[in-house]
């Protein structure tokens, strides 16, 4: 499936064993920049600046995209950060365990983790799982993580529709952030990271099924993040909290 879309790119620096192993795990070609004129794939994975990065042809001469382990603008840098804002309201301040069933670039998972939630991540794309694993490894090496004896979120690779049913203990909350079809307005073009992700992986066509499975597997609630103008995924929610351009719909059980 990925063979014609993705390759691992070795740029001639250091040992290429890790690059070979990554290509084997993903069953994609290993390319070398010394043969740049024959790069046929539209997307590439490579290590740059100590990070595993995803690139398309436009980004080949730039930095590339990686899982950013630093807090986003406006987020608290302390640990645990205060449980405030629309996302914390939706998750529930007393909630302890959260499963992010659609982890993607991991920004919401990491935000939840920094607020003190016990987070488990599920990602079905092997490409994104590699990027996440690299990011979580870098997170574990941070001084503040080691000082506080913390471990990055657990990462499960596979289809959440199947994995949610196998969890030993139901999480109090299951968080869903499925990919919705892009808005048609030019002013609402998705960020580069989401454009690449959509081009590489496509839309989540089974999000209705995922919601139904999540509602069965969750201990107390399911939270769905969606564009502010999208129809609620699971029908009328129990509660709804609005952030900037997004909405968090809460479905309480019982």
**Percentage with pLDDT > 90 across the chain:** 68
Question: 190 falls in which pLDDT band (50, 70, 90)?
Answer: very low
- Highest mean pLDDT among 47-61, 183-197, 209-223 belongs to 209-223
In the chain, what are the domain boundaries? 6-59, 86-252
Position 203 pLDDT exceeds 80 = no
Give me 11's structure tokens. 């740029």
Q: What is the pLDDT of residue 17?
A: 95
* Residue among 151, 155, 173 nearest 97 (CA): 173
Sheet holding 246-252, edge to edge: 154-157, 118-123, 97-100, 173-176, 221-227, 246-252, 239-242
- Among the ranges given (67-76, 94-103, 155-164, 210-219), the one the predictor scored with the smallest mean pLDDT: 67-76
pLDDT, average across residues 180-186: 55
pLDDT, average across residues 91-101: 97
Q: What is the pLDDT of residue 40?
A: 82
Assess contact for 203 and 194: CB atoms under 8 A. Answer: no
Third-level CATH fold of 86-252? Rossmann fold (3.40.50)
What CA–CA distance (Å, rounded) separates 123 from 163? 10
Q: What is the pLDDT of residue 105?
A: 93
User: Does residue 147 sit in helix, strand or coil?
Assistant: helix
What CA–CA distance (Å, rounded) separates 198 from 193? 9
pLDDT, average across residues 12-30: 92
Question: 153 falls in which pLDDT band (50, 70, 90)?
Answer: very high
pLDDT, average across residues 8-23: 91
Kindly tell me the burial class for residue 70, based on how many C-beta atoms sit within 10 Å of its own C-beta (0-12, 13-18, 19 or more).
exposed
Question: 189 falls in which pLDDT band (50, 70, 90)?
Answer: very low
- Highest mean pLDDT among 56-65, 78-87, 150-159 belongs to 150-159
Q: What is the pLDDT of residue 202?
A: 64
- Going by C-beta distance under 8 Å and a sequence separation of 6 or more, which residues neighbour residue 170? 217, 218, 219
Residue 135 backbone dihedrals phi, psi, to 5 degrees? -65, -45
Residue 151 backbone dihedrals phi, psi, to 5 degrees? -120, 140
* Residue among 197, 135, 172, 157 nearest 250 (CA): 172
User: Does residue 246 sit in helix, strand or coil?
Assistant: strand
- Highest mean pLDDT among 26-35, 58-67, 149-158 belongs to 149-158
DSSP state of 65: B
Give me 223's structure tokens. 């939270």
What CA–CA distance (Å, rounded) separates 76 from 85? 12
User: Does the reported pTM lie above 0.75?
Assistant: yes
Q: What is the pLDDT of residue 1?
A: 56
Question: 224 falls in which pLDDT band (50, 70, 90)?
Answer: very high
Q: What is the pLDDT of residue 73?
A: 81
What are the strands, taking DSSP E only, across 169-232?
A: 173-176, 221-227
């Amino acid at each position: 499936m990925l063979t014609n879309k993705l390759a691992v790119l070795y740029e001639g620096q250091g040992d290429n064993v890790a690059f070979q192993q990554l290509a084997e795990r993903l069953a994609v070609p290993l390319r070398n920049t010394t043969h740049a004129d024959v790069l046929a794939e539209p997307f590439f994975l490579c290590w740059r600046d100590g990070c595993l990065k995803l690139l398309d042809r436009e980004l080949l001469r730039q930095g590339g995209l990686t899982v950013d382990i630093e807090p986003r603008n406006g987020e608290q840098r302390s640990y645990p950060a205060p449980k405030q804002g629309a996302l914390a309201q939706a998750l529930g301040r007393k909630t302890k365990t959260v499963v992010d069933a659609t982890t993607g670039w991991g920004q919401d998972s990491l935000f939840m983790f920094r607020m003190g939630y016990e987070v488990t991540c599920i990602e079905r794309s092997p490409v994104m799982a590699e990027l996440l694993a690299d990011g979580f490894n870098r997170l574990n090496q941070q001084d503040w993580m080691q000082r506080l004896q913390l471990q990055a979120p657990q990462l499960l690779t596979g289809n959440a529709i199947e994995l949610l049913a196998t969890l030993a203990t139901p999480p109090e909350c299951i968080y869903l952030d499925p990919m919705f079809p892009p808005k048609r307005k030019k002013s609402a073009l998705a960020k580069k990271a989401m454009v690449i992700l959509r081009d590489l992986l496509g839309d989540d066509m089974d999000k209705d099924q995922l919601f139904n499975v999540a509602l069965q597997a969750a201990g107390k609630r399911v939270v769905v993040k969606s564009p502010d103008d999208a129809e609620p995924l699971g029908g009328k929610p129990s509660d709804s909290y609005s952030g900037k351009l997004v909405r968090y719909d809460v479905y309480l059980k019982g």
